[in-house]
Structure 1
Amino acid sequence: MKQRIITAVIAGAIFLAIVFYGNELLTIATYILATIGLHELLKMRKQSLLSVQGLLSVLMLWVFLLPDEQARWLEDTLFSKIELMFLIVLLFLTYTVLTKNKVTFDDVSFCILSTLYVGIGFFYLIQTREAGLDFILYSLFIIWTTDSGAYFIGKAFGKRKLWPEISPNKTVEGSIGGVICAVVTAVVFYFVYPEITDNLLVFIIGTIVLSVFGQIGDLVESAFKRYYNVKDSGDILPGHGGILDRFDSLLFVWPLLYFFLI
């Protein structure tokens, strides 16, 4: 527990400092986090990041993560992001032929979907920060309170299992408690940062949606780990596991936050 708290304080302080600064520092940090997250997913399937399919995955991820300004420059001078990603998909499929199916269609499909899963979430970290620091802080607070509320309320009152085949410790009562805690946090946040929205009701509804999908993101990561029989996605964060273990909920929340509230 002591190690977990120390890691949370140090890693949280570094991440918040980067988020507050924003700009190129946040973009660089996002590239690093996303690449580590992709490595963790590939490792679950026993695929190396330094293999051909791993390097193609990284290339696709880095193209996908390009912020709008750099993406416009790329489109003006060469190809659009979508065109480049199509080319990388063709290279993936060509590689299955060159290896005579030692690297299969299933392998490259996993790589492509893993890249999109990680890339979409972290891309919208950059986009959300560009929309305003208050949105990032809001997303962090509601996910932290959702997780904490679900844990403590589930411990105290949980009886019905939420999804025992995937995450046996989560309960329906804990899940509902997490949503309630997120809503309370959102109301407080609204009065501290009234400029974040002009409609409190829509803000509360949006918070409920984000809290629910944050929990779904957590379950998705749990499903990956259970399927591939691993305890944590990685060990880069002592006491917490890997990058995906810490950002699984936010990978679902940031895109939805951008779509519906920003």
Structure 2
Amino acid sequence: MISKKYNPHTTVSLAMAAAFFVFLYFFKDFPADKVIISAIVMMLVLFGIEIFGENPTFCIGRISSSFLGAFFIPLALMHMVYIRDLSDGMKLVFFIFIVVWILDTMAYAFGKVLGKHKLAKNVSSKKTLEGATAGIVFGVLAAVACRFIFMSNILTLQNAVILGLVISVTGQFSDLAESLIKRDGNVKDSGKIVPGHGGVFDRFDSYLFAAPAVYYVLKIFK
């Protein structure tokens, strides 16, 4: 996601994000101290670029936006890999995708037909309370259906309901969070790889908070 408003260090941020993702992949036990060290190193690099650069004006915006892309996004999405590595992990990954796809579709459909009350009017003018409610209801129903179809040996009915609720709430919150970033950055699409669909990042924004939330709820279940 590139914004002329913040002008982040795109190449450096992408390089650090890729390196951090690889680092997290090979340290799947989630060593908190090493993650903290990674964050500090990133900040040292970004501050160093600004300190020894030619124009320090608006440096906080560049540092903040670069760090957000380099640290938070890989850390959040890596939890999908952590989920995959759990027992029956691939089923759980498909479960998350299915629930998100259904809740997004139903939230859009009900919001378009019945939506009257804005959910977050200053962030996304098209999202409504009615659509969000429908997304939660159908997200939970989708989770329950998945449980009966191919996950009865993994989740109890109660677990499925809880996970459906968690995914539905955090997934829609993630979508709003990405809309907030795009609105503040004054950009329509988060990238050009998938033109006309909000950018490639829009295909994965629902998982930014949903993936970590599901992973730690699963840990609680065990």
With the shorter chain as reference, the TM-score category is 0.7 to 0.9
Shift of 1:184: 1.0
Query: For residues 205 and 69 of structure 1, do their structure 2 counterparts lie closer, same or farther at Cα, with a shift above 3 Å needed?
Result: closer
2:84 alignment partner AA: R
Q: Which residue of 1 aligns with 2:49?
A: 95
Return the alpha-carbon distance in structure 1 between the equivalents of residues 179 and 76 of structure 2.
17
The structure-2 alpha-carbon separation of the partners of 1:150 and 1:80, relative to structure 1 and needing over 3 Å to count, comes to closer
CA gap 1:156/1:105 in 2 versus in 1, 3 angstroms: closer
Q: Distance in 2 between matches of 1:63 and 1:221?
A: 23
Q: Shift of the alpha carbon at 1:220?
A: 0.9
Question: Which blocks of at least 5 consecutive residues in structure 2 are unaligned?
Answer: none
Aligned to 2:7: 46
**In the alignment, residue 120 of structure 2 is paired with which amino acid?**
W
Contact 2:111–2:127 (CA under 8 A) maintained in structure 1: yes
Q: Deviations over 1:118-167 (max 9, x none)?
A: 11222112212222111111110111111111111112222111111111
Q: Find the aligned partners of 2:35 and 2:183 in 1 and give their Cα distance.
A: 33
Give the stretch that moved more between structures: 142-151 or 199-208: 199-208
* Alpha-carbon distance in 1 for matches of 2:59, 2:24: 33
Alpha-carbon distance, 1:248 to partner:
0.7
Taking structure 2 as the reference length, the TM-score comes to 0.84
Aligned sequence identity (%): 31
- Other-structure match for 1:174: 131
TM-score (norm 1): 0.72
Change (3 A) 1:236 1:178: same
In the alignment, does 2:80 pair up with 1:122?
no
User: Structure 1: any 5+ residue segments left out of the alignment?
Assistant: 1-39
Tell whether the 8 Å contact from 2:194 to 2:200 is kept in structure 1 after alignment. Answer: yes
Residues 63-121 of structure 1: per-residue CA shift (max 9 Å, x gap): 3213666338xx9xxx9454344233222222222126257233212211222231122
Quick one: distance in 2 between partners of 1:151 and 1:136?
Answer: 23
Change (3 A) 1:43 1:186: farther
* 1:214-248 deviation per Cα after TM superposition (whole angstroms, max 9, x unaligned): 11111111111111222111221143232211111
| Secondary structure of residue in 2 paired with 1:195 | coil
Aligned to 1:36: none
Contact 2:100 2:171 survives alignment (8 Å): yes
Aligned to 1:104: 59
The residue number in structure 2 matching 1:242 is 199
Counting matched residue pairs gives 212
Contact 2:143 2:163 in 1 (8 A): no
Q: Does the CA contact (< 8 Å) of 1:152 and 1:174 recur in 2?
A: yes
Structure 1 contact 162–170 (Cα < 8 Å) conserved: yes
Q: Tell me if 1:64 matches 2:25.
A: no
